[in-house]
Structure formats: C-alpha cells, structure tokens
Amino acid sequence: MAAKGKKKDAPAENYLLRVPVHPKGMNWSANNEGIVTLEKPNTGLMNKIAQLIFSKPEISYIHLDMHGSFAWLNTDGIRDITAIGLLVKERFGEEAEPLYERLAMFYQVMDSYGFVHWKE
C-alpha cells in the first residue's frame, strides 16, 4: 500500500535537469578575478538580539571559491545543472571532478540558504 500523500510509481526527478535562478533583489558581486561574494542579511528577532548583544553583523558576506563562483556566474535561469557542468568541465577539466556530485551539492547548499530557487 502506498504511503498517504505520495504518488504511486512517480518517476524520480532528475536533479541535474533543474534550472537554478538567482532570487530577485539578491545582492552579490564579483571581483576582477571572478570570485563571487554573496550578501545574506541577518534579519529576524534572534539576529537582532545577537546584533545588539554580541555585535553580530547585519549582513554576512559569503565568499565562493573559484569553482562555485564560475558556476554562480553561469547561473542564468536558462541553463540546467547539466549544461552548467559542461561549462565547468570545459573551464577546469579534471580539476572539477567529481563534477556532477559537486555541482549537485553546491546547488543544494545554495538552495538551502535561499541563494537560488528553481525555474518552474
């Protein structure tokens, strides 16, 4: 018997065919070397308390490495993860391996922090 709320025999989604998109209004920058820095505002009650008591910053800056920066700069809302992977492979060669495992993890982390969402 199928679990309640689950579709019986539904095909598993191929994560690599998902198209990542930068959220509207998200602030980020890239330096001359192409290294990307993302800005994450620290909002909410607990963050405000931490800012007052512990001098925590109002904005956290997340610096991506060269592989993540390259993937980020090629996240255009058109290419899926597989297509971005081909560009990463072309740019970094064997240094990018294990390519799709790394890219899938990168985008999962970006998604978990709200740095990307997915094109419908």
Query: At 1, is the pLDDT very low, low, confident or very high (cuts 50, 70, 90)?
Result: very low
Residue 10 resides in a domain:
no
Q: Which domain holds residue 67?
A: 16-118
Q: Contact at 8 Å (CB) between 26 and 38?
A: yes
User: Per-residue pLDDT for 12 more than 80?
Assistant: no
Residue 71 resides in a domain:
yes
Lowest mean pLDDT among 8-17, 24-33, 62-71, 99-108: 8-17
Residue 6 resides in a domain:
no
Residue 45 resides in a domain:
yes
Residue 56 resides in a domain:
yes
Q: What's the predicted TM-score (pTM) here?
A: 0.81
- pLDDT tens digits, one per residue of 14-29: 889 999 999 999 999 9
Query: How many folded domains does the chain comprise?
Result: 1
Section 43-50 average pLDDT: 81
Q: Which residue in this structure is represented by tokens 């072309």?
A: 90
Please list the residues that pair with 41 across neighbouring strands. Answer: 59
